[in-house]
Structure 1
Amino acid sequence: MKFSIVKEKFLEPLADISSIVARKTTKPILSHALLQTSGEHLLLKGTDTEVTLQILLNELDIKEEGAITVPAAKLLDVVRHLPAQATVYCSLEKEQLLVKAAGSVFRIATLPAEDFPALAEADMDRRIESDSRALHDIMQKVRFSMASEDVRYYLNGMYLNIVEDGNAIHAVSTDGHRLSCARSALPSPAPMTNLIVPKKGVSELIKLLGRVSQPVVLNLGERQLSLTLGGYRLTSQLIDGTFPNYEQVLPPVQETPVLVSRQAFLESLQRAKVLLLDRHDGIRLTFSDAKLQLAARNLENETADEALDIINPQALQLEVALNINYLIDAISTINGDNVQLHIADSSSPCLITSSEDEGVRYVIMPMRL
């Protein structure tokens, strides 16, 4: 194998592959990237067995065909520190990858290409057509409430659900204490289906979708999802489980929700957060006619008090405690000048919506302080 490529054409694909491969693993091959030259193309491939990324590069000069695997992070660091616009020459010498550029020479240990995992791809018999930006946005709006390493494994990802006779898609996530849901219309009807994408697959999908603005197709198999964009092909295993019925969790929309300035509310929460350093800390919200009072207290008995104007004053006397970090996540993500707070009573969940971000709903369970 022998090829040359300009640094800038090599660097981003290597970074993308490096984000896929396993960081801590008992199998060294899973920390490696596969490099394979064939015809006029260089194939880069990385996997952690759950998520696989293949990148086909054609802006390079290939002298010899071949294949090898190399530590992805190490090769990335080498290329990253080379001079700008340098031509990078790569070749195999005595089971090492020889990398030359601008007077620098590196010899990197390799493993045989035959050792790289050959992951079978399932039959992709269903497809969802969407706009890349619309799909990116709804996934981005709900990603923060996915669970991490929860024993309820079906919560460690994002639920994508085709609704409205195939004309819309819901992206949903929950960690059991809060729930996020966003909706987007589809340009053409999709088969009624639902799937749970694992957390890492979600992150990589969002990254790729955010780079373009064009129609895209998600291809679905029984246990896999794939997205092809240009020379990139991302494949993710799906979580085999049943996602909770999120529609049952969504509180009813109040006829006259409390309306407050989104920016003022967010800034008040961020100021109070200075004293609340634990991720489980709560803040007390007191609704009284035309004012919303915020009160925080930490274990050192330090306090923070804020007052906000309610834009639509109403005869309301209500007090509720909510996790301050969950509030900040929701209020900082939703769009609009104002946010609507739907709360029936102090023991009921809080529903957050915005008239300027239709289809986005955040639910936060109440706390005891």
Structure 2
Amino acid sequence: MKKTAPLFLIDFLKVFAALFIIVHHLSSYGQIAEDARIALPGIMTWLFEYGRYAVQIFLVMAGYLAAQSLSRYANQSFSSQHLLKVIFNRYLRLFAPYAVALLVTMLCAYIARFWVNDEYIGQTETLSQFLAHLFFIQGILGLDSISAGAWYVAIDWQLYTVLAIMLISFPRYQAVIWILSILAVCSLLFFNRSSAYEAYFIYFIGAYGLGVLAYLAKHFQNTDVQRLAKSALIMISVIILISSFEQLWLRNILAWAVALMLFVWGNQTYPPAVGFKKTLLNAIVWASPRSYSAFLIHFAFILLANTLYIACDWYLYKSGLLALTLMLSVVICSTVAANYLYRLIELPVSKLKL
């Protein structure tokens, strides 16, 4: 299926998940987060505890979109050179805005260290640490993350690489569905429940695989592949349900629910609208392609906001309203910066391919 028009659910999930992650990080880092709990204790605690679940939305959607992109190679003969080009082009697309965001975050962290002494800022970055981030191996090497979202970019590239190998290497997608389903079940029931695997794709391939299966079950041109992918989705949902009687894992249920939504409504275009509703939909259309850049750059503004809060002695007032105002300022500044990062870096680089 070729994307001929903006798709509402895809765009909405991108914007919603990015915003949710930003407010989750705002509720997690610095004195601003602590003081905001004075005004909204219940909401801020809930965001701190459950905001990270938005990552499941990113993972399922990333799998869905990756399958959409890679399945066009289904009828082509295997070429290792072609496979490497696909993987490298993905790296290039992720790398450019990511590298710029890392540099901006490092600059903001340098400024923050003059006034703020907190664990989330970390020690001064080393060259080896920065290079490890550029090659997406900082988690594997056990190095501290420069930015709050850097780990996800590394995992996304791992997952895309694994999926590219499977979808381009196997001429029959039935084999891919079986392999992917087994990996997904192992991830959901075992690997995803141990922090020892957090730096590797196997920890996240459960949610990612659900997104892949949702796409293949609805849009792949071979009806046999569609039926098998549907069966795999049903099988995994039953396994998730049965395992929930032993221990309830909300992130697994959320991942399956998002996959189901994408299966049912993933190809729906925007509904007709007028007035305020049209303005809101236009805002989603505008924000969707910029969501990746917003995800990358927002932590820099969290650092700056907390630095300003401490340097100006505003923290002495213990004002929840002031803390919430600064949080809103971070969201606004992140949106503006994401627009420039998208237009000047991400968009031009996305057109560069081997």
Could you tell me the TM-score, scaled by structure 1's length?
0.22
* Bigger share in strand: 1
Larger Rg: 1
Task: Report 1 or 2 for greater relative contact order, CA contacts < 8 Å, sequence distance ≥ 6.
Answer: 2
Could you tell me the TM-score, scaled by structure 2's length?
0.23
